[in-house]
Structure 1
Amino acid sequence: MTPAWPPRSIDHKALVVAYTNVLSWPLHLGGVPVTEAGIDAALDRSTHGVWSVLCEDLFDAVVMPADAGRKVVLAMQRGKDHQDVGAVVPCLLAGSWRIFFVQARTGSVISGARVLSAMQRVALPPTEGSRWEVPPWSRAEPRRIELPNAQILVGWLSSPPDAAAARR
């Protein structure tokens, strides 16, 4: 699988191998498909390239400004009173954006955020300026986590992150 688990942001090869082996995501580097056999050559060829995956039937990507997304992440972490306690929503921090990964074809329930799906691409680490805040794999072992339905974000977006803290 990967040299060490979980993959670290600075270990580009471990990230790319996790995408292909653990998540079974078909990767592209600069828009060109990269096979598992071509990972080493692609990494040698480009240290600053854009690694991406098409959403296709893999997931929907809910994109929101980083500050708004931070409030959602905090709400999930603090939301002990919320019905979806323990739910994990993979989140990618990419520049001034946070991108949440949810089940394919469920993102349409989200209003006020851009939703990427089908033939749209999402740039992934090790692309410069992006890192996993909540990765799409288990931290304990090399296996993918089940993506939640986007409906879970509706609840987190509608409850302010400080509401749970204020009730304590």
Structure 2
Amino acid sequence: MTAVAQWPPRTRDTRASLEAYERVLGWPLIVDDTLVSARCASAALELSLDAVVSTTCSAFDAVTVPYAVGADLLVLLGRGALDQVPALAYGREQVVVLVAAGTGSGLKSMAGVLVESGPGGRLILPPSPRRRWDTPPWSPRAEEPCPLPTGGAIETPLRIALRSFGAPPPP
């Protein structure tokens, strides 16, 4: 495996982030609707500020909640044993928490929660517009993925966060 240009990748370092997605995490990269390599994705982003980089939800389930609920959830997780849960913000509208693949389905029944999973699910990644990592999915010390919690491990804190803000409409 070739080393990523800079470790850990910074959000604004497009090349290092794309290399980390592909090489360290093993995620397929999709620009708009085309499966590409990290190098091609980087070139596409340089050519177009509107290019959208995404991946399938094959390696994880993506749990999306309204921003306020997500911010509260991340604080609750940080107070417990789950302080390094990969999460990203979609502007100030939504927070997406990554859990182990196939474990998020039990969270779908909660009001205001959307779960994407499997090869048909998609997650839009930074450096796409209005996307940033709150907690990246890789270790800050070594070129390796962070362990993902199960959906069950975040269920209780998620229920508490949802209660704090009422039952919001689905994102």
Q: Secondary structure at the match of 2:15?
A: helix
Q: Which runs of 5 or more residues in structure 2 are unaligned?
A: 163-171
Q: Which residue of 1 aligns with 2:75?
A: 74
Cα distance in 1 between the residues matched to 2:87 and 2:154: 12
What TM-score do you get using the length of structure 1 for normalisation? 0.85
1:38 to 37, 40, 64: 40
> Aligned pair 1:92/2:127, yes or no?
no
Over the aligned positions, Cα root-mean-square deviation in angstroms equals 1.8
What are the ranges of 5 or more consecutive residues in structure 1 without an aligned counterpart? 80-84, 162-168
Per-residue Cα deviation, 1:132-168 (whole angstroms, up to 9, x for no partner):
001110011111112111111112123459xxxxxxx
Deviations 1:81-113 (A, max 9, x none): xxxx14532101012100011111111111231
| Counterpart for residue 116 of structure 2 | 116
Count of aligned pairs between the two proteins: 155
Q: Which residue of 2 aligns with 1:101?
A: 98
Counterpart of 2:61 in structure 1 is 60
Distance across 2 between alignment mates of 1:28 and 1:158: 33
Q: Which structure 1 residue ranges, 4+ long, deviate > 4 Å from structure 2?
A: none
Q: Secondary structure at the match of 1:4?
A: coil
**Which secondary structure state, in structure 1, belongs to the residue aligned with residue 72 of structure 2?**
helix
Q: Secondary structure at the match of 1:116?
A: strand
Q: What secondary structure sits across from 1:148 in the alignment?
A: coil
Please report the TM-score for the alignment, with normalisation by the length of structure 2: 0.83
Q: Percentage identity across aligned positions?
A: 34
